[in-house]
Structure 1
Amino acid sequence: MDKYRVDLADAEWRKSTKSSANGGCVEFAQVGGYVAIRDSQNPDREPLIFDANEWDCFLDGAGKGEFPVPTA
């Protein structure tokens, strides 16, 4: 399966435990060996799709603080 052709029709979306109470939520679904990420306030927008290696690298970088929260 190509990550650009992942069928998300039956995806079971779950909210991140780190989502904020103000509605700024991130949802994820595991589909066919891939992880899909979307904004819960815009579920019809195309999600980001990660393969296993990309997901591991993303989690590693996030855990190390490589993605600082943007300031307004």
Structure 2
Amino acid sequence: MKQSRAMSLVESVANVIVGYGVAVVTQILIFPIFGLHTTLAQNLKMGAIFTIVSIARSFALRRVFEAIRMRSAK
């Protein structure tokens, strides 16, 4: 059974929200181990930047693999 566009959107949004939360919590836990001390606001901003980079990376990889698939289909 194929996933609907609406459910694909819900899955993508959930993935981004969970990824953002994981990034922020990881920063809060790991940064002090390396002597980096940041405020919650700084962690939230860095998490947002990492999330944007992750979305761009994921999009680029999907497009590359789709191009490979299209070439293979010819």
Q: Normalised by the size of structure 2, how large is the TM-score?
A: 0.30
Larger radius of gyration: 2
Q: Normalised by the size of structure 1, how large is the TM-score?
A: 0.30
Give the structure, 1 or 2, with the largest relative contact order (CA under 8 Å, sep 6 or more).
Answer: 2
